[in-house]
């Protein structure tokens, strides 16, 4: 008497919805891979360039301002250009390691839960 009708389909759909909602509730932050590569080489290249240059620019600006304040021109600027370059490399490194868009982002502490796709310690290793 019960042929697979609309009611049956609805029940199946209901079960699937419940399962999906359960899964969605469980996945907190970091439960989902954060960054899917956009598959766009030009976009990736642009991102790397922007990360490198913006950190360098911030380093330059900090050095410049500190020099103007302390009257030590040009020494602090030279130091902070190097630090800014290092920060830029660090940004790109973190991006390449799959911490995704989150620049200046830290991997979980080695004692903490491991993020999917995150092997080994990060920069502190």
Q: Are 66 and 76 in contact (CB under 8 A)?
A: yes
Selected range binding another protein among 2-10, 14-22, 67-75, 77-85, rule: CB under 8 A: 77-85
Q: How far is the CB of 4 from another protein (least distance, A)?
A: 24
Among 18, 19, 68, 104, binds another protein (CB under 8 A): 104
Contact between 76 and another protein by CB under 8 A: the answer reads no
Judged by DSSP in three states, 125 sits in coil
Contact between 59 and another protein by CB under 8 A: the answer reads yes
Contact between 14 and another protein by CB under 8 A: the answer reads no
Q: How far is CA 4 from CA 7, 12, 14, 79, in A?
A: 8, 11, 15, 74
Helices 41-70 and 75-94, axial angle in degrees (round to 10): 150
Spacing of C-alpha 109 from chain mean position: 15
Selected range binding another protein among 8-16, 31-39, 67-75, rule: CB under 8 A: 31-39
Structure tokens at 57: 């620019």
In this complex, which beta carbon is closest to another protein, that of residue 2 or of residue 111?
A: 111
Q: Residue-wise over 22-46: b if at least 16 C-beta within 10 A, else e?
A: eeeeeeeeeeeebeeeeeeeeeeee
Contact between 29 and another protein by CB under 8 A: the answer reads yes
Residues within the interface to another protein (CB under 8 A)? 24, 27-29, 31-32, 34, 38, 43, 46-47, 50-51, 53-55, 57-59, 62, 80, 83-84, 86-88, 90-91, 100-110, 112, 121-124
């Amino acid at each position: 008497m019960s042929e697979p009708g609309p009611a049956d389909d609805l029940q199946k759909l209901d079960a699937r919805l419940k399962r999906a909602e359960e899964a969605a509730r469980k996945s907190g932050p970091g439960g989902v891979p954060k960054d899917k590569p956009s598959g766009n080489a030009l976009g990736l290249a642009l991102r790397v360039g922007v990360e490198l240059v913006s950190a360098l620019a911030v380093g330059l600006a900090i050095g410049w301002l500190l020099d103007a304040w302390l009257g030590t021109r040009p020494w602090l600027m030279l130091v902070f250009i190097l630090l800014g370059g290092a920060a830029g490399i660090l940004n790109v490194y973190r991006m390449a390691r799959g911490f995704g868009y989150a620049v200046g982002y830290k991997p979980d502490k080695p004692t903490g839960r491991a993020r999917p796709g995150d092997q080994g310690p990060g920069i502190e290793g």
